[in-house]
């Protein structure tokens, strides 16, 4: 069973096309016929059948490179660079943590040795205590 969809005025379709193109420029994505068709609540096939000129315009927009892409790094490039920076920082922090753990272990062993030496030293009678006993 088919659903009957009334023809939309071309001016309205072009207005929605401009809104989709503006959104695509803002998000640095490419426009698609499906995107506009969904925006108008039409099926892809129905939209393509009724508005072939607009479909061709969208195809031309998809084929031409975006000026935002050539002007600098894309959002994806920035995310990749940030991810790499975070990975380097994570590696640095992991190595610093391993070094800190090794230093804590070293201090623990040194403390144990000093504690043993103190216990040994406390077993020795002091010279002053010998003279007082006599």
Instruction: Count other C-beta atoms under 10 Å from residue 39's C-beta.
Output: 15
Percent of the chain at pLDDT > 70 equals 82
The per-residue pLDDT for range 56-115, each reduced to its tens digit, is 988 888 887 655 445 677 888 899 999 999 999 999 999 999 999 999 999 999 999 998
Would you kindly state where each structural domain of the chain is located, as residue ranges?
Answer: 10-71, 75-124
Helix (H, G, I), strand (E, B) or coil at 30: coil
The per-residue pLDDT for range 20-61, each reduced to its tens digit, is 888 888 888 888 888 888 888 888 888 888 888 989 988 888
The answer to whether the beta carbons of residues 69 and 28 sit under 8 Å apart is: yes
Largest Cα separation within the chain, whole Å, is: 122
- Using CA atoms, how far residue 23 sits from 7, 27, 38, 111, 132, in Å, is 24, 6, 14, 65, 96
């Amino acid at each position: 069973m088919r659903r009957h969809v009334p023809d939309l005025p071309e001016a309205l379709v072009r207005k929605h096309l401009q809104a989709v193109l503006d959104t695509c420029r803002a998000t640095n994505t490419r426009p698609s016929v499906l995107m506009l068709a969904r925006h108008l609540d039409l099926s892809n096939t129905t939209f393509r059948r009724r508005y072939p000129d607009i479909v061709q315009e969208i195809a031309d927009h998809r084929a031409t490179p975006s000026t935002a892409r050539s002007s600098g790094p894309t959002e994806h490039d920035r995310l990749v660079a940030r991810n790499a920076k975070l990975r380097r920082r994570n590696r640095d922090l992991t190595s610093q943590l391993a070094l800190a753990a090794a230093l804590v272990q070293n201090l623990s062993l040194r403390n144990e040795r000093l504690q043993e030496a103190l216990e040994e030293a406390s077993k020795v009678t002091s010279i002053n205590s010998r003279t007082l006993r006599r």
